[in-house]
Structure formats: structure tokens, C-alpha cells
Amino acid sequence: MDPSNHDTARQSPMATRGDVEKGGVKKEAGKVPSPLYPQHEGEREWVPWIVPVFFVANITVFVVTMYVNNCPAHTTARDGKCIGRFLGRFAFQPLRQNPLLGPSSATLTKLGALVWQKVVHEHQGWRLLSSMWLHAGVVHLVANMMSLLFIGMRLEQQFGYVRIGAVYHLSGLGGSVLSSLFIRNHISVGASGALFGLLGAMLSELLTNWTIYTNKVAAVLTLLFVVAVNLVLGILPHVNNFAHIGGFLTGFLLGFVVLMRPHFGWMERYGMPAGSACTSRKYLLYQWILMAIALLLLVIGFAVGMAMLFRGSNASDSCSWCHYLSCVPTARWTCTN
């Protein structure tokens, strides 16, 4: 689920070490051929640190999960042999129980996996957030962490830790809420909802900051292709596509709200006469309109989703076909387990 990121922003010939102030680097003004995240005169380029922290935190939580799991002590001969017994209590569950090389479902549930029954009837709403820090296995963890570094580092470099941290967490929450509305009988873990939120934010950032990009159509089509491929893969069994969809929609709307950037004319203010018509407004009218609509939809979406969830509503009752968004049965597999 890693999109290509071609950053060809050019540093001004006048840039020197004196341009580096408070972690920022000034670069040449003007439109840049790269479709993703050109840096402009006066804009700050952040030094990423929150994404590396997320990376280390996810790995640490997985190590703790495997320590608690302790496969050799909790698995009987009838269940099968633990994988990698030389790892001691860090050995993985038998493949018949977890083909992703990871812990048992019981361990994941104990440590905070998303379980509808516990969220709604046992008042454990914290699982909506804790589940995004757990992973089902090494395969799951590696795939998500590669995506996190590839997508998140560049976003944080351009927009800072506050905005990217907010997109990450709120997208993960949005994915958990939508999952809980449709999935009742299975546990769910993973950062996929948050990662899809970063993808969604990349797309809306491109749309709301349309004036500062060239190669716009190609960039939009590339991102849409990447998202579409990953959503199609989400219809396979054992993949929670509702988390992907919920995270993507949340991140897409958040991008209009928190990733809005000054338009091209305003960015060239240093090279234009004072009082020029192009420099009078920092943001364009359509940017404000998109932000207002997105913010309204976010508030309504979270309010309605949370109300339905804690009231115990089953969204599948109102949408008989929606379950196909997460799993499509074929001759090779079913979606009942």
C-alpha cells in the first residue's frame, strides 16, 4: 500500500547554512514539476520524529505481545507445534492458529484488540484506539511499518508532527468505529486504518492545494490507483476492509481541514510588487469551502458513528450488501470464518 513519492523540489542556489532556521529549509519559489509536496520560499521543512516514534512504539508493542503470549507455555500438543521454538517464550503460534507468525487471538484480546462485545457491553471504548497499536503477526507488522515509513516520513517533513499525528490517530479511530459497526464476531488489530488515513490525506491535500502543483492529473490518478488496489485486496478473507475504508474516509476529510496550504500566487509574494492582487489572499475561496464541508462531515460522521456504536446498532441491518466491501466469497474461500 505504499504510494510512489517523487520529491524533486529544488533548493535555491542562494540557500546557505543561514537558511536553516528552527529546523526549516528555504527553497526556491514557484511551481515544481513534482506532483507531491513542493517546498516553497518561506515554508518550513520539518525534521520528522513522530513517525519514527510510532515505528518504534509499534515494534515494541509487538515484542511485548509475544512475551505475554508465551506460546510454549500456553499451547498444547493437540494445537500443534509453536513456530521458532528456539525463540523461547517469543515463539509464534502454530500456523493453523496464526499464519502471519504472531500471537494467539486470546493474547491480542487480552492486550486490547478491537472486540465489539467488550467495547459496547463492557464499556471498553479504549479498544478503539489500543487496537491500532497491535499486530497479528510479523508479516502484518512488517507490511504496515514499511508503509508507515514510506508515507508518513514525507508527510511529516512537509506538514509537521502535530497535523500528521492528528491525522494518524483520528484515521485509526475512524477505521475502528466503522469496523465495530459492521464486524461483531471477530477481533480486529492493526494500524491499517491509520495508514489508509494518511493515503486519504495525501489525496485531499493534492486537491485542496491544486494551484501549486503541475502534473496534477497524473498525481491524482496514481494515488487513486494505489488506493483502489489496496481496497480490492481488502475483500480477501481475514482482511478488515472496513478499517481501511473508515480510515481512508477520515483521513481524506482531515486533509482538507489540516493540510491546506497557501495558493501559488501568495507563495510568490516575495517576487511580486506589494499590493498585487495575487498576494491579497493567502487561501482561495474553494479551499475554505472544502475545509468547511469536510469539517462538517467529520463532526457528523463521528457523532453518528459513535452514537450508533454505543447504542449497539448493527450497520449491516441497514445495508444488506455492505459485508461484500470486506470479503467476497468465491469457490476457493468463504467469508463465514
DSSP string, 68-119: HH-HHHH--GGG-PPB-GGGGGGPBPPTTT-TTS---HHHHHHHT-B-HHHH
Cell digits for 337? 470464518
Q: Where are the alpha helices (DSSP H) in the chain?
A: 50-69, 71-74, 105-111, 116-120, 127-130, 138-147, 153-159, 161-182, 192-208, 216-233, 241-258, 264-267, 285-310
Q: Whole-angstrom Cα distance, residue 148 to residue 150?
A: 6
Phi, psi dihedral angles at 224 (to 5 degrees): -65, -40
For cell 520560499, what's the residue?
Answer: 41
Could you say which of 192, 204, 263, 326 is catalytic?
A: 192
For cell 513534482, what's the residue?
Answer: 34
Q: Whole-angstrom Cα distance, residue 3 to residue 206?
A: 14
Q: Whole-angstrom Cα distance, residue 212 to residue 278?
A: 13
For cell 482538507, what's the residue?
Answer: 256
Is 6 considered catalytic here? no
Could you say which of 40, 135, 140, 244 is catalytic?
A: 244
Contact by Cβ (8 Å): 71, 91: yes
**Residue (of 3, 43, 4) closest to 25 by Cα position:** 43
Is 192 considered catalytic here? yes
Contact by Cβ (8 Å): 241, 235: yes
Residues in the chain: 337
Q: Whole-angstrom Cα distance, residue 313 to residue 23?
A: 48
| 188, β-bridge pairs | 114
SS3 assignment, position 217: helix
Contact by Cβ (8 Å): 240, 179: yes
Residues involved in catalysis? 192, 244
